Amino acid sequence: MRLIDFKMERQGLLKEGDRVTITEGTLPSSFYYTVDPSLAMSANFKLGDRIKSREGIVKSIEETPRGFYVKVEFDEDEPD
């Protein structure tokens, strides 16, 4: 299992226990992920750190002074 943080701009878009899908975006030297349909966005990942799974479960949502952060758990044991 792997926990990844996503930044969510507004409260209430996701809740704990939600099953989410992600879309991978590419930059010249890294990758980023968006919780569909554009509900939250990850930080940038290097090639070796890419997320293998495209579905995960929201484990927690934390409100900070910088916004809302969603922890999504992915099953990285799935076949490539």
Residue 73 lies in a domain: no
> For a pLDDT cut of 90, what percent of the chain falls above it?
90
Residue 26 lies in a domain: yes
The length of the chain in residues reads 80
Full residue range of the structural domain in which residue 1 is found: 1-8+21-59
Structure tokens at 69: 């952060």
Predicted structure pTM score: 0.89
Among 71, 29, 75, 70, which residue's Cα sits nearest to residue 51?
Answer: 75
Residue 15 lies in a domain: no
Residue 28 lies in a domain: yes
Provide the domain count of the chain. 1
Residue 67 lies in a domain: no
pLDDT of residue 58: 98
Beta strand 40-42 with 2-8 is antiparallel
Residue 29 lies in a domain: yes
Across 18-32, b (16+ Cβ under 10 Å) vs e yields: bebebeeeeeeeebb
Q: What is the mean pLDDT of residues 10-17?
A: 94
Residue 69 lies in a domain: no
